[in-house]
Structure 1
Amino acid sequence: MSKQTGRRHLAGLTAWDRCAVMGVVNVTPDSFSDGGRWFDTTAAIKHGLDLVAEGADLVDVGGESTRPGATRVDEEEELRRVVPVVRGLASEGVTISVDTMRASVAEQALAAGAALVNDVSGGLADPRMIPVVADAGAPFVVMHWRGLLEGGNVRGAYDDVVTEVVDELHARVEAVLEGGIAPDRIVVDPGLGFSKDAEHDLVLLAHLDRLLDLGHPLLVAASRKRFLGRVLAGPEGSPPPARERDAATAAVSALAAHAGAWAVRVHEVRATADAVRVARAIEGARAADEGAEGAR
Protein backbone atom coordinates (compact mmCIF):
# COMPACT_ATOMS: atom_id res chain seq x y z
CA MET A 1 0.00 0.00 0.00
CA SER A 2 1.37 3.39 -0.95
CA LYS A 3 1.89 6.31 1.39
CA GLN A 4 -0.84 8.20 -0.40
CA THR A 5 -3.24 5.31 0.25
CA GLY A 6 -2.37 5.51 3.95
CA ARG A 7 -3.14 9.22 3.81
CA ARG A 8 -6.38 8.81 1.92
CA HIS A 9 -9.02 11.43 2.63
CA LEU A 10 -10.99 10.75 5.78
CA ALA A 11 -14.62 11.59 5.05
CA GLY A 12 -15.85 14.54 7.06
CA LEU A 13 -12.43 16.11 7.61
CA THR A 14 -10.03 18.32 5.67
CA ALA A 15 -7.76 16.47 3.24
CA TRP A 16 -4.10 17.28 4.00
CA ASP A 17 -1.34 16.59 1.49
CA ARG A 18 0.97 15.42 4.28
CA CYS A 19 0.81 13.73 7.66
CA ALA A 20 -1.50 15.81 9.86
CA VAL A 21 -0.55 17.00 13.35
CA MET A 22 -3.02 16.36 16.16
CA GLY A 23 -2.29 18.48 19.23
CA VAL A 24 -3.31 17.23 22.68
CA VAL A 25 -5.36 19.13 25.24
CA ASN A 26 -5.68 17.13 28.47
CA VAL A 27 -8.39 18.65 30.67
CA THR A 28 -7.29 16.43 33.56
CA PRO A 29 -5.43 16.76 36.86
CA ASP A 30 -3.53 13.48 36.37
CA SER A 31 -2.36 12.96 32.78
CA PHE A 32 1.05 11.26 32.68
CA SER A 33 2.78 14.14 30.88
CA ASP A 34 0.96 17.41 31.60
CA GLY A 35 -1.74 16.68 34.17
CA GLY A 36 -3.22 19.79 35.75
CA ARG A 37 -1.63 22.31 33.40
CA TRP A 38 -4.79 22.88 31.36
CA PHE A 39 -7.42 21.73 33.87
CA ASP A 40 -9.26 25.06 33.86
CA THR A 41 -11.64 25.53 30.90
CA THR A 42 -10.25 28.93 29.93
CA ALA A 43 -6.66 27.67 30.12
CA ALA A 44 -7.54 24.58 28.10
CA ILE A 45 -9.17 26.63 25.33
CA LYS A 46 -6.18 28.98 25.20
CA HIS A 47 -3.82 26.03 25.04
CA GLY A 48 -5.78 24.53 22.16
CA LEU A 49 -5.59 27.81 20.25
CA ASP A 50 -1.86 28.02 20.97
CA LEU A 51 -1.37 24.52 19.55
CA VAL A 52 -3.14 25.56 16.34
CA ALA A 53 -0.95 28.66 16.13
CA GLU A 54 2.11 26.40 16.46
CA GLY A 55 0.98 24.21 13.55
CA ALA A 56 -1.62 21.72 14.80
CA ASP A 57 -4.15 20.74 12.14
CA LEU A 58 -6.62 19.42 14.69
CA VAL A 59 -6.84 19.28 18.48
CA ASP A 60 -7.66 16.20 20.59
CA VAL A 61 -9.58 17.13 23.76
CA GLY A 62 -9.81 14.60 26.58
CA GLY A 63 -11.08 14.70 30.14
CA GLU A 64 -9.95 11.33 31.46
CA SER A 65 -6.40 10.06 31.98
CA THR A 66 -5.58 6.67 30.46
CA ARG A 67 -2.16 6.34 32.10
CA PRO A 68 -1.45 3.00 33.82
CA GLY A 69 -3.18 2.81 37.18
CA ALA A 70 -5.41 5.85 36.60
CA THR A 71 -8.84 5.79 38.26
CA ARG A 72 -11.72 6.41 35.89
CA VAL A 73 -13.47 9.74 36.29
CA ASP A 74 -17.26 9.66 36.56
CA GLU A 75 -19.43 10.56 33.58
CA GLU A 76 -20.72 13.87 34.93
CA GLU A 77 -17.21 15.11 35.68
CA GLU A 78 -15.88 14.07 32.26
CA LEU A 79 -18.73 15.96 30.59
CA ARG A 80 -18.05 19.02 32.74
CA ARG A 81 -14.39 19.00 31.73
CA VAL A 82 -14.72 18.27 28.03
CA VAL A 83 -17.84 19.83 26.53
CA PRO A 84 -17.14 23.52 27.35
CA VAL A 85 -13.61 23.20 25.93
CA VAL A 86 -14.91 21.59 22.74
CA ARG A 87 -17.56 24.30 22.40
CA GLY A 88 -15.04 27.08 22.98
CA LEU A 89 -12.51 25.75 20.46
CA ALA A 90 -15.19 24.96 17.87
CA SER A 91 -16.42 28.55 18.10
CA GLU A 92 -12.91 29.59 17.00
CA GLY A 93 -13.01 27.29 13.97
CA VAL A 94 -10.70 24.61 15.36
CA THR A 95 -11.07 21.05 14.05
CA ILE A 96 -11.60 18.97 17.18
CA SER A 97 -11.22 15.33 18.08
CA VAL A 98 -12.79 14.21 21.35
CA ASP A 99 -10.78 11.63 23.28
CA THR A 100 -13.31 9.57 25.24
CA MET A 101 -14.48 6.03 25.95
CA ARG A 102 -18.02 7.17 26.83
CA ALA A 103 -20.81 7.42 24.27
CA SER A 104 -22.53 10.21 26.20
CA VAL A 105 -19.37 12.34 26.11
CA ALA A 106 -18.86 11.64 22.41
CA GLU A 107 -22.49 12.51 21.67
CA GLN A 108 -22.42 15.81 23.54
CA ALA A 109 -18.98 16.74 22.22
CA LEU A 110 -20.10 16.12 18.63
CA ALA A 111 -23.16 18.28 19.29
CA ALA A 112 -20.83 20.99 20.66
CA GLY A 113 -18.73 21.00 17.49
CA ALA A 114 -16.27 18.08 17.62
CA ALA A 115 -15.57 16.48 14.23
CA LEU A 116 -13.90 13.19 15.19
CA VAL A 117 -14.18 10.64 18.02
CA ASN A 118 -10.94 9.12 19.33
CA ASP A 119 -11.84 6.15 21.56
CA VAL A 120 -8.82 4.31 22.97
CA SER A 121 -11.03 1.27 23.53
CA GLY A 122 -12.23 1.19 19.92
CA GLY A 123 -15.81 1.09 21.14
CA LEU A 124 -15.27 -1.78 23.59
CA ALA A 125 -15.64 0.20 26.83
CA ASP A 126 -19.18 1.45 26.08
CA PRO A 127 -21.56 -0.58 23.88
CA ARG A 128 -23.42 2.60 22.93
CA MET A 129 -20.33 4.21 21.38
CA ILE A 130 -20.51 2.66 17.91
CA PRO A 131 -24.24 3.41 17.40
CA VAL A 132 -23.75 7.00 18.58
CA VAL A 133 -20.84 7.62 16.20
CA ALA A 134 -22.61 5.85 13.33
CA ASP A 135 -25.75 7.94 13.83
CA ALA A 136 -23.67 11.13 13.84
CA GLY A 137 -21.75 10.10 10.72
CA ALA A 138 -18.50 11.09 12.44
CA PRO A 139 -15.04 9.68 11.77
CA PHE A 140 -13.87 7.22 14.44
CA VAL A 141 -10.41 6.20 15.66
CA VAL A 142 -10.15 2.48 16.43
CA MET A 143 -7.20 1.86 18.73
CA HIS A 144 -5.71 -1.52 19.63
CA TRP A 145 -6.84 -2.12 23.21
CA ARG A 146 -6.69 -5.01 25.64
CA GLY A 147 -8.50 -3.39 28.53
CA LEU A 148 -8.00 -0.63 31.06
CA LEU A 149 -4.45 -0.27 32.36
CA GLU A 150 -5.39 -1.00 35.95
CA GLY A 151 -2.66 -2.62 37.98
CA GLY A 152 0.06 -1.89 35.43
CA ASN A 153 0.74 -3.05 31.91
CA VAL A 154 -2.13 -5.54 31.71
CA ARG A 155 -2.21 -8.42 29.26
CA GLY A 156 0.98 -7.33 27.53
CA ALA A 157 2.19 -10.77 26.39
CA TYR A 158 2.64 -11.37 22.65
CA ASP A 159 4.22 -14.13 20.57
CA ASP A 160 4.28 -11.86 17.50
CA VAL A 161 3.21 -8.35 18.44
CA VAL A 162 2.80 -7.04 14.90
CA THR A 163 0.68 -9.94 13.67
CA GLU A 164 -1.43 -9.99 16.82
CA VAL A 165 -2.05 -6.23 16.87
CA VAL A 166 -2.91 -6.23 13.15
CA ASP A 167 -5.26 -9.21 13.54
CA GLU A 168 -6.97 -7.76 16.62
CA LEU A 169 -7.35 -4.36 14.98
CA HIS A 170 -8.79 -6.01 11.86
CA ALA A 171 -11.38 -7.84 13.97
CA ARG A 172 -12.29 -4.63 15.75
CA VAL A 173 -12.60 -2.70 12.48
CA GLU A 174 -14.94 -5.40 11.16
CA ALA A 175 -17.12 -5.00 14.27
CA VAL A 176 -17.16 -1.22 13.83
CA LEU A 177 -18.17 -1.61 10.18
CA GLU A 178 -20.96 -4.00 11.18
CA GLY A 179 -22.07 -1.36 13.68
CA GLY A 180 -22.73 1.10 10.88
CA ILE A 181 -19.64 3.31 10.71
CA ALA A 182 -18.64 3.83 7.08
CA PRO A 183 -15.24 2.48 5.96
CA ASP A 184 -14.08 5.92 4.79
CA ARG A 185 -14.62 7.26 8.32
CA ILE A 186 -12.38 4.78 10.18
CA VAL A 187 -8.85 5.49 11.44
CA VAL A 188 -6.65 2.80 13.02
CA ASP A 189 -4.15 3.29 15.85
CA PRO A 190 -1.72 0.60 17.11
CA GLY A 191 -2.12 1.76 20.72
CA LEU A 192 1.53 2.35 21.57
CA GLY A 193 2.06 1.93 25.31
CA PHE A 194 -1.30 0.27 25.90
CA SER A 195 -0.61 -3.26 27.16
CA LYS A 196 2.76 -3.07 25.41
CA ASP A 197 6.33 -2.68 26.62
CA ALA A 198 9.06 -0.64 24.95
CA GLU A 199 10.18 -3.46 22.66
CA HIS A 200 6.61 -4.01 21.45
CA ASP A 201 6.20 -0.31 20.67
CA LEU A 202 9.46 -0.13 18.72
CA VAL A 203 8.66 -3.23 16.66
CA LEU A 204 5.23 -1.82 15.80
CA LEU A 205 6.82 1.45 14.65
CA ALA A 206 9.23 -0.56 12.52
CA HIS A 207 6.29 -2.21 10.76
CA LEU A 208 3.79 0.59 10.15
CA ASP A 209 3.41 -0.78 6.63
CA ARG A 210 1.59 -3.79 8.10
CA LEU A 211 -0.85 -1.47 9.86
CA LEU A 212 -1.40 0.52 6.66
CA ASP A 213 -2.28 -2.75 4.94
CA LEU A 214 -5.51 -2.71 6.97
CA GLY A 215 -6.69 -0.19 4.39
CA HIS A 216 -7.52 2.74 6.67
CA PRO A 217 -5.75 5.97 7.61
CA LEU A 218 -3.24 5.44 10.42
CA LEU A 219 -2.85 7.53 13.58
CA VAL A 220 0.44 7.22 15.49
CA ALA A 221 0.36 8.43 19.10
CA ALA A 222 3.89 8.09 20.48
CA SER A 223 4.20 11.46 22.20
CA ARG A 224 6.26 11.41 25.42
CA LYS A 225 5.45 7.74 26.04
CA ARG A 226 7.38 5.34 28.27
CA PHE A 227 9.18 3.58 25.43
CA LEU A 228 10.82 6.86 24.40
CA GLY A 229 12.00 7.34 27.97
CA ARG A 230 13.52 3.86 27.89
CA VAL A 231 15.29 4.54 24.58
CA LEU A 232 16.70 7.86 25.80
CA ALA A 233 17.84 6.41 29.13
CA GLY A 234 19.88 3.61 27.61
CA PRO A 235 20.43 0.27 29.34
CA GLU A 236 21.61 1.67 32.68
CA GLY A 237 20.10 5.15 32.91
CA SER A 238 16.90 6.58 34.33
CA PRO A 239 14.21 7.64 31.84
CA PRO A 240 13.95 11.42 31.46
CA PRO A 241 10.68 13.07 32.56
CA ALA A 242 7.85 13.01 30.03
CA ARG A 243 8.27 16.67 29.05
CA GLU A 244 11.92 16.02 28.12
CA ARG A 245 10.93 13.54 25.39
CA ASP A 246 9.68 16.02 22.79
CA ALA A 247 12.72 15.83 20.49
CA ALA A 248 12.39 12.05 20.48
CA THR A 249 8.68 12.45 19.77
CA ALA A 250 9.44 14.66 16.77
CA ALA A 251 11.84 12.00 15.46
CA VAL A 252 9.07 9.40 15.62
CA SER A 253 6.71 11.87 13.93
CA ALA A 254 9.10 12.29 11.00
CA LEU A 255 9.49 8.52 10.65
CA ALA A 256 5.72 7.96 10.88
CA ALA A 257 5.09 10.67 8.30
CA HIS A 258 7.64 9.10 5.96
CA ALA A 259 6.00 5.70 6.41
CA GLY A 260 2.61 7.09 5.38
CA ALA A 261 0.77 7.84 8.62
CA TRP A 262 -2.38 9.95 8.27
CA ALA A 263 -1.67 11.84 11.52
CA VAL A 264 0.54 11.94 14.59
CA ARG A 265 -0.81 12.87 18.03
CA VAL A 266 1.57 15.04 20.07
CA HIS A 267 1.74 17.26 23.14
CA GLU A 268 4.40 19.68 21.83
CA VAL A 269 3.38 20.71 18.34
CA ARG A 270 6.00 23.01 16.86
CA ALA A 271 8.85 20.49 16.44
CA THR A 272 6.53 17.82 15.04
CA ALA A 273 4.87 20.31 12.66
CA ASP A 274 8.34 21.09 11.30
CA ALA A 275 9.25 17.40 11.15
CA VAL A 276 6.22 16.32 9.09
CA ARG A 277 6.69 19.23 6.68
CA VAL A 278 10.32 18.27 6.11
CA ALA A 279 9.26 14.66 5.57
CA ARG A 280 6.70 15.83 3.01
CA ALA A 281 9.27 18.02 1.21
CA ILE A 282 11.70 15.10 0.92
CA GLU A 283 8.90 12.87 -0.32
CA GLY A 284 7.98 15.48 -2.93
CA ALA A 285 11.61 15.84 -4.03
CA ARG A 286 11.92 12.07 -4.44
CA ALA A 287 8.73 11.91 -6.51
CA ALA A 288 9.90 14.78 -8.71
CA ASP A 289 13.30 13.15 -9.23
CA GLU A 290 11.74 9.80 -10.08
CA GLY A 291 9.40 11.55 -12.52
CA ALA A 292 12.33 13.29 -14.19
CA GLU A 293 14.25 10.01 -14.34
CA GLY A 294 11.30 8.34 -16.03
CA ALA A 295 11.07 11.13 -18.61
CA ARG A 296 14.69 10.76 -19.64
Structure 2
Amino acid sequence: MRLHVGCAMWQLKSWQGRFVPSSGDRLRAYAGWCNAVEGNTTFYATPSLDTVRTWAEQAPADFRFVLKLPRGVTHGSHLSDVSALPEFLRVIEPLGERVHALWVQLPGSFGPGDLAVLARFLRHLPDHFRYAVEVRDPAFFHDPHRLEDTLATVGAEWIPFDTTEFFRTPPTSDAERDAWLKKPRMPLRTAALTDRPIVRYLGRDAEDRTVEGWRKWVPIVADWLREGRSPTFFVHTPDNADAPGLCRRFHDEVRALVPALAPLPTPLIPEDDGPPTLF
Protein backbone atom coordinates (compact mmCIF):
# COMPACT_ATOMS: atom_id res chain seq x y z
CA MET A 1 0.00 0.00 0.00
CA ARG A 2 1.57 3.23 -1.17
CA LEU A 3 0.44 6.80 -1.61
CA HIS A 4 2.69 8.85 -3.86
CA VAL A 5 2.86 12.60 -3.39
CA GLY A 6 4.83 15.20 -5.29
CA CYS A 7 5.28 18.63 -6.79
CA ALA A 8 5.32 20.20 -10.22
CA MET A 9 9.14 20.14 -10.27
CA TRP A 10 12.03 18.77 -8.23
CA GLN A 11 14.04 21.98 -7.97
CA LEU A 12 13.13 25.58 -7.26
CA LYS A 13 15.36 28.47 -6.21
CA SER A 14 13.45 29.00 -2.99
CA TRP A 15 14.02 25.35 -2.03
CA GLN A 16 17.82 25.57 -2.13
CA GLY A 17 19.39 25.02 1.27
CA ARG A 18 15.99 24.04 2.65
CA PHE A 19 14.68 21.07 0.69
CA VAL A 20 17.48 20.55 -1.85
CA PRO A 21 21.14 21.61 -2.02
CA SER A 22 22.25 24.63 -4.02
CA SER A 23 24.11 22.31 -6.40
CA GLY A 24 24.54 18.63 -7.01
CA ASP A 25 21.95 15.87 -7.11
CA ARG A 26 18.76 17.84 -6.50
CA LEU A 27 16.47 15.10 -7.76
CA ARG A 28 18.05 12.67 -5.29
CA ALA A 29 17.45 15.17 -2.48
CA TYR A 30 13.89 15.88 -3.64
CA ALA A 31 13.21 12.13 -3.63
CA GLY A 32 13.88 12.17 0.10
CA TRP A 33 10.91 14.51 0.55
CA CYS A 34 8.50 13.27 -2.10
CA ASN A 35 8.10 10.02 -4.01
CA ALA A 36 6.60 11.42 -7.24
CA VAL A 37 7.00 14.38 -9.56
CA GLU A 38 5.15 15.89 -12.49
CA GLY A 39 7.26 15.82 -15.63
CA ASN A 40 6.27 19.24 -16.94
CA THR A 41 9.61 19.91 -18.65
CA THR A 42 8.99 17.18 -21.22
CA PHE A 43 6.05 19.24 -22.50
CA TYR A 44 8.44 21.95 -23.70
CA ALA A 45 11.35 19.85 -24.95
CA THR A 46 12.34 16.21 -25.13
CA PRO A 47 15.37 15.75 -22.86
CA SER A 48 18.55 14.06 -23.97
CA LEU A 49 19.08 10.39 -23.30
CA ASP A 50 21.99 11.22 -20.97
CA THR A 51 19.77 13.55 -18.97
CA VAL A 52 17.15 10.86 -18.50
CA ARG A 53 19.83 8.37 -17.49
CA THR A 54 20.85 10.83 -14.78
CA TRP A 55 17.25 11.01 -13.58
CA ALA A 56 17.13 7.22 -13.40
CA GLU A 57 20.36 7.13 -11.36
CA GLN A 58 19.05 9.65 -8.83
CA ALA A 59 15.45 8.45 -8.44
CA PRO A 60 14.72 5.37 -6.29
CA ALA A 61 13.13 2.37 -7.96
CA ASP A 62 9.71 3.11 -6.42
CA PHE A 63 9.73 6.79 -7.44
CA ARG A 64 7.03 7.92 -9.88
CA PHE A 65 7.38 10.17 -12.90
CA VAL A 66 4.16 11.35 -14.53
CA LEU A 67 5.59 12.65 -17.80
CA LYS A 68 3.74 15.12 -19.97
CA LEU A 69 3.70 14.36 -23.71
CA PRO A 70 5.34 16.96 -25.97
CA ARG A 71 3.22 20.03 -26.69
CA GLY A 72 3.71 19.59 -30.43
CA VAL A 73 1.61 16.45 -30.14
CA THR A 74 -1.08 17.56 -27.71
CA HIS A 75 -1.37 21.28 -28.43
CA GLY A 76 0.35 22.03 -31.71
CA SER A 77 -1.45 19.38 -33.73
CA HIS A 78 -4.46 18.33 -31.61
CA LEU A 79 -3.07 14.76 -31.57
CA SER A 80 -2.82 14.56 -35.36
CA ASP A 81 0.99 14.83 -35.69
CA VAL A 82 2.72 12.16 -33.63
CA SER A 83 6.13 12.42 -35.33
CA ALA A 84 7.78 13.52 -32.06
CA LEU A 85 6.52 10.52 -30.09
CA PRO A 86 8.99 7.79 -31.17
CA GLU A 87 12.00 9.83 -30.06
CA PHE A 88 10.26 10.84 -26.83
CA LEU A 89 9.42 7.23 -25.99
CA ARG A 90 12.96 6.09 -26.84
CA VAL A 91 14.53 8.71 -24.59
CA ILE A 92 12.46 7.90 -21.49
CA GLU A 93 13.29 4.19 -21.61
CA PRO A 94 16.00 4.39 -18.88
CA LEU A 95 13.32 5.33 -16.33
CA GLY A 96 11.68 1.93 -16.75
CA GLU A 97 8.94 1.28 -14.19
CA ARG A 98 9.48 4.75 -12.71
CA VAL A 99 7.30 6.05 -15.56
CA HIS A 100 4.03 5.79 -13.71
CA ALA A 101 1.96 7.28 -16.52
CA LEU A 102 2.31 9.31 -19.67
CA TRP A 103 0.27 12.45 -19.25
CA VAL A 104 -1.85 13.66 -22.15
CA GLN A 105 -2.73 17.24 -21.22
CA LEU A 106 -5.17 18.68 -23.74
CA PRO A 107 -5.82 22.39 -24.40
CA GLY A 108 -9.09 24.16 -23.67
CA SER A 109 -9.83 24.16 -27.40
CA PHE A 110 -10.03 20.34 -27.36
CA GLY A 111 -13.67 19.60 -26.55
CA PRO A 112 -16.15 16.73 -26.47
CA GLY A 113 -16.54 16.98 -30.24
CA ASP A 114 -12.92 15.78 -30.54
CA LEU A 115 -13.42 12.55 -28.61
CA ALA A 116 -13.08 10.42 -31.73
CA VAL A 117 -9.64 11.96 -32.29
CA LEU A 118 -8.63 11.18 -28.72
CA ALA A 119 -9.93 7.62 -28.98
CA ARG A 120 -7.96 7.00 -32.16
CA PHE A 121 -4.82 8.52 -30.63
CA LEU A 122 -5.01 6.41 -27.47
CA ARG A 123 -5.63 3.19 -29.41
CA HIS A 124 -2.40 3.64 -31.36
CA LEU A 125 -0.14 4.28 -28.36
CA PRO A 126 2.21 1.53 -27.14
CA ASP A 127 0.39 -0.65 -24.63
CA HIS A 128 3.37 -1.11 -22.26
CA PHE A 129 2.79 2.37 -20.79
CA ARG A 130 -0.07 3.60 -18.65
CA TYR A 131 -1.82 6.79 -19.79
CA ALA A 132 -3.64 9.61 -18.03
CA VAL A 133 -5.59 12.40 -19.73
CA GLU A 134 -6.22 15.92 -18.46
CA VAL A 135 -8.86 18.00 -20.22
CA ARG A 136 -9.35 21.76 -19.94
CA ASP A 137 -12.78 22.22 -21.57
CA PRO A 138 -15.44 22.36 -18.80
CA ALA A 139 -17.96 20.82 -21.20
CA PHE A 140 -16.40 17.40 -20.52
CA PHE A 141 -17.59 17.64 -16.91
CA HIS A 142 -21.22 18.29 -17.89
CA ASP A 143 -21.49 14.82 -19.43
CA PRO A 144 -18.47 12.91 -18.09
CA HIS A 145 -19.58 9.47 -19.25
CA ARG A 146 -18.53 10.02 -22.85
CA LEU A 147 -14.93 10.79 -21.88
CA GLU A 148 -14.95 8.07 -19.22
CA ASP A 149 -16.04 5.49 -21.81
CA THR A 150 -13.33 6.63 -24.22
CA LEU A 151 -10.63 6.32 -21.56
CA ALA A 152 -11.93 2.96 -20.35
CA THR A 153 -11.27 1.36 -23.73
CA VAL A 154 -7.52 1.66 -23.12
CA GLY A 155 -7.47 1.70 -19.31
CA ALA A 156 -6.48 5.36 -19.13
CA GLU A 157 -7.09 7.62 -16.12
CA TRP A 158 -8.74 11.05 -16.07
CA ILE A 159 -6.55 13.54 -14.18
CA PRO A 160 -8.60 16.17 -12.36
CA PHE A 161 -6.98 19.54 -11.68
CA ASP A 162 -8.70 20.82 -8.54
CA THR A 163 -8.51 24.63 -8.63
CA THR A 164 -11.69 25.23 -6.64
CA GLU A 165 -9.95 26.42 -3.47
CA PHE A 166 -7.64 28.70 -5.41
CA PHE A 167 -10.48 30.51 -7.17
CA ARG A 168 -12.73 30.68 -4.10
CA THR A 169 -11.49 34.17 -3.17
CA PRO A 170 -9.49 36.85 -5.04
CA PRO A 171 -5.67 36.68 -5.11
CA THR A 172 -3.62 38.36 -2.39
CA SER A 173 -0.04 38.12 -3.68
CA ASP A 174 1.88 38.62 -6.92
CA ALA A 175 2.24 34.86 -7.35
CA GLU A 176 -1.48 34.35 -6.82
CA ARG A 177 -2.37 37.16 -9.23
CA ASP A 178 -0.16 35.58 -11.88
CA ALA A 179 -1.73 32.15 -11.33
CA TRP A 180 -5.20 33.74 -11.38
CA LEU A 181 -4.61 34.68 -15.01
CA LYS A 182 -2.97 31.41 -16.09
CA LYS A 183 -4.62 28.53 -14.23
CA PRO A 184 -7.84 26.94 -15.51
CA ARG A 185 -11.11 27.23 -13.58
CA MET A 186 -12.10 23.60 -13.61
CA PRO A 187 -15.14 21.89 -12.06
CA LEU A 188 -14.40 19.58 -9.15
CA ARG A 189 -14.05 15.89 -10.04
CA THR A 190 -13.30 13.22 -7.42
CA ALA A 191 -13.98 9.95 -9.28
CA ALA A 192 -11.26 7.45 -10.14
CA LEU A 193 -11.39 5.30 -13.27
CA THR A 194 -8.44 2.97 -12.66
CA ASP A 195 -6.35 1.47 -9.89
CA ARG A 196 -3.89 4.39 -10.27
CA PRO A 197 -5.80 7.65 -9.81
CA ILE A 198 -3.83 10.86 -10.22
CA VAL A 199 -4.92 14.20 -8.73
CA ARG A 200 -3.47 17.68 -9.27
CA TYR A 201 -4.42 20.12 -6.54
CA LEU A 202 -3.82 23.88 -6.47
CA GLY A 203 -3.90 25.62 -3.10
CA ARG A 204 -2.99 29.16 -2.06
CA ASP A 205 0.24 30.76 -0.85
CA ALA A 206 -1.14 30.69 2.70
CA GLU A 207 -0.58 27.23 4.19
CA ASP A 208 -3.86 27.19 6.13
CA ARG A 209 -5.83 27.89 2.94
CA THR A 210 -4.01 25.13 1.08
CA VAL A 211 -4.70 22.63 3.86
CA GLU A 212 -8.32 23.73 4.15
CA GLY A 213 -8.83 23.13 0.44
CA TRP A 214 -7.45 19.60 0.43
CA ARG A 215 -9.52 18.42 3.42
CA LYS A 216 -12.10 16.88 1.09
CA TRP A 217 -9.37 14.86 -0.62
CA VAL A 218 -7.97 13.19 2.50
CA PRO A 219 -10.88 10.75 3.04
CA ILE A 220 -11.24 10.19 -0.71
CA VAL A 221 -7.59 9.19 -1.06
CA ALA A 222 -7.83 7.09 2.10
CA ASP A 223 -10.80 5.22 0.61
CA TRP A 224 -8.87 4.63 -2.61
CA LEU A 225 -6.08 3.03 -0.61
CA ARG A 226 -8.53 0.81 1.26
CA GLU A 227 -9.97 -0.26 -2.10
CA GLY A 228 -6.52 -1.41 -3.21
CA ARG A 229 -5.81 1.53 -5.50
CA SER A 230 -2.41 3.24 -5.67
CA PRO A 231 -3.06 7.01 -5.89
CA THR A 232 -0.73 9.87 -6.69
CA PHE A 233 -1.49 13.36 -5.34
CA PHE A 234 0.34 16.44 -6.59
CA VAL A 235 0.32 19.59 -4.47
CA HIS A 236 0.68 22.99 -6.16
CA THR A 237 0.65 26.47 -4.69
CA PRO A 238 1.10 29.69 -6.68
CA ASP A 239 4.72 30.17 -5.52
CA ASN A 240 5.38 26.47 -4.66
CA ALA A 241 7.77 27.67 -1.95
CA ASP A 242 6.54 25.16 0.65
CA ALA A 243 5.28 22.45 -1.71
CA PRO A 244 7.59 19.56 -0.65
CA GLY A 245 6.68 20.02 3.00
CA LEU A 246 3.01 20.35 2.14
CA CYS A 247 3.17 17.07 0.24
CA ARG A 248 4.47 15.33 3.34
CA ARG A 249 1.74 16.93 5.44
CA PHE A 250 -0.94 15.63 3.07
CA HIS A 251 0.63 12.18 3.22
CA ASP A 252 0.62 12.33 7.03
CA GLU A 253 -3.06 13.31 7.11
CA VAL A 254 -4.01 10.36 4.91
CA ARG A 255 -1.81 8.03 6.95
CA ALA A 256 -3.66 9.09 10.10
CA LEU A 257 -6.77 7.52 8.52
CA VAL A 258 -4.92 4.54 7.03
CA PRO A 259 -2.24 3.48 9.55
CA ALA A 260 -1.08 0.63 7.32
CA LEU A 261 0.17 3.15 4.77
CA ALA A 262 3.96 3.06 4.50
CA PRO A 263 5.69 6.27 5.64
CA LEU A 264 7.60 8.51 3.30
CA PRO A 265 11.40 8.30 3.22
CA THR A 266 13.46 10.36 5.65
CA PRO A 267 14.47 13.63 3.97
CA LEU A 268 18.09 14.20 3.09
CA ILE A 269 19.68 17.22 4.73
CA PRO A 270 21.03 19.82 2.27
CA GLU A 271 24.74 20.03 2.95
CA ASP A 272 24.90 23.78 2.49
CA ASP A 273 22.29 24.94 5.00
CA GLY A 274 21.83 22.53 7.86
CA PRO A 275 18.68 20.61 8.70
CA PRO A 276 15.65 21.51 6.56
CA THR A 277 12.27 22.32 8.03
CA LEU A 278 8.98 20.84 6.95
CA PHE A 279 6.94 24.02 6.76
Normalising by structure 2, we get a TM-score of: 0.47
Which has the higher relative contact order, 1 or 2, with Cα contacts under 8 A spaced 6 or more apart? 2
More helix by share: 1
What TM-score do the two structures reach when normalised by structure 1?
A: 0.45
